[in-house]
Amino acid sequence: MTGQPRPLFQIDAADLARIREVPMFRHMDPEVAAAVLAGAVPRRWDRGASVVRQGDPADAFWVILDGWVKLYRLLPDGSEAVVAVMTVGESFAEAAMFMGGRFPVAADTVTEARLLRIEAATLRAAMRADGRVATALLASIAHHTTTLSEQVRVMKAHAAPQRVADFLVTCARRVQGEGAAGRLRMRLPYDKALIARRLGMTPESFSRALATLRAEGVAVERDSVEIASLSRLAQFAREASDRL
């Protein structure tokens, strides 16, 4: 029937599983999710594509189905302040869209990516129809706030090698699962210069931190990392910064 919302299962099972990782959708009933996702279609993006420009009207939010996306603010001198780098099972721009203003940050893909754009008008209609949608949205915004606060805490409390160790452990467990503990080899998810900026350090301090981590069983060759013991590296990441 023309004009009717598209059902949830226009999105395939693999993408639906990724969407279910997003805090907003994690505990949402299927029929409620169907209303929020009505008409949404995944789109592919090339590496380095501009998804959102800083100052654009906040008329949608995005779920990442594949790849990595960088959120950043453009500073008056033309440089970038990286706010976050996000990947599969994460979403961005909900808070700005909820407020109905303009995007305070820009978003670019840092790898090839697939994103699901969810229109503000669709979300607001779902919120009017079912109060559980508003509760899920607020939970998602609270999750982003908590995550950002934790990132700031880590940058202030930990020395550079610990920040890099924590980053590597997080990336490894995304690939291997939360229970991963032993030896593994993985590719860095994106370029080292961006990792350094994401962790609040210069490329030079990032390189020095990697060199320090050799003693903890970390070997880096170009964009590949070998970790002798993930559990050992995780323990190192948790230790007080005066250990270094």
Percent of the chain with pLDDT over 90: 43
Distance CA 209, CA 203 (A): 10
Which alpha helices (H) appear in the chain, and where do they start and end?
Answer: 13-19, 23-26, 30-36, 94-99, 120-129, 131-157, 160-176, 192-198, 203-212, 230-238
Going across the sheet that includes 91-92, the strands are 42-45, 113-119, 60-66, 91-92
What pTM, to 2 d.p., does this model score? 0.77
C-alpha 142: how far from its chain's center? 15
pLDDT, tens digit, for every residue of 44-69? Answer: 999 999 999 999 999 999 999 999 99
Per-residue pLDDT of 87-133, as tens digits, reads: 998 999 888 887 778 999 999 999 999 999 999 888 888 888 887 87
3-state class (DSSP) for residue 165? helix
Q: Name every residue whose Cβ is closer than 8 Å to that of residue 177 and which is 6 or more positions away in sequence.
A: none
pLDDT, position 244: 41
For 141-161, the DSSP string reads: HHHHHHHHHHHHHHHHHS-HH
Note the pLDDT of residue 241. Answer: 40
- pLDDT band at 178, cuts 50/70/90? low
Phi, psi of 45, rounded to the nearest 5 degrees: -130, 140
Q: What is the pLDDT of residue 9?
A: 46
For 128, phi then psi, to 5°, come to: -65, -35
Looking at per-residue pLDDT, the higher value among 114 and 241 belongs to 114
Question: Which residue is it, tokens 């670019």?
Answer: 108
Amino acid at 105: V
pLDDT at residue 8 greater than cutoff 60: no
Residues with Cβ within 8 Å of residue 164, at least 6 apart in sequence:
195, 199, 206, 209, 210, 213
Confidence of residue 140 (pLDDT cuts 50, 70, 90): confident
110 CB burial (10 A radius; 0-12, 13-18, 19+)? buried
Identify the residue with better confidence: 140 or 236.
236
